[in-house]
Amino acid sequence: MLLVVAAGCGDDTPAAQKAKAGPAPPPTANKNAEKTAVLMLKPKVDKQYRKELAPSDFQPDPTGDINRDPFESYLVAPQPNGPQTPVQDECEDHKVAEKYAYNDLKLIGIVVRGTRNFAMFKDPTQTGQIVFQGYCLSKEKARVIEITPSCVRIEIRGEAPPGAPAPPAHEDKRCLHPNDIEIQ
């Protein structure tokens, strides 16, 4: 019984193992001649189907009638490809307290001096930040519209998310004494 188990463990017979170990015999010349394929060249396209390309063939055609671009969709309105004018940032040169949020700033003083009025806001670190009319205040880039003897009118513009229009701007008013009655 032990011989039957030992004989069943091997999967190759000694004759098969010897055949695998030796190199394969080289093929004969007759077999190679039969398997070789002849390389056949295709004939050129007839002259009646050929077209000489001109520079007008590479010009864009918005209608798609003459020179249709296969990668352009004529179902969707194309985006303007002209030079895009960069949006001018009004706050580029005059930013004040841009590290702090608008709600963290507190109006503590207004100075009315002829045509050049200015106001002072206090940030969370108790540092005074001086703004003039036209300056931008805080992270929100709130633009100072008007400085009166008692209040500061501010326009707050929201940031536009990528690919979407900016939310509409709204005005806010910060007064030195917010509980006082406003005199017109």
Give 49-106 pLDDT, tens digit per residue: 888 888 887 787 777 777 777 777 767 776 666 666 666 667 778 889 989 999 999 9
Domain 95-159+168-175 bears CATH identifier 2.30.30.830: yes
Q: Where are the domains of the chain?
A: 95-159+168-175
| Residue keyed to tokens 């001109």 | 54
Summarised one tens digit per residue, pLDDT across range 12-50 is: 555 545 545 555 555 555 555 556 777 888 888 888 888
Check: pTM over 0.75? Answer yes or no: no
- 49: which 2 tokens? 């189907």
Q: Give the least confident one: 76-90, 116-130, 159-173.
A: 76-90
104 residue type, one letter: D
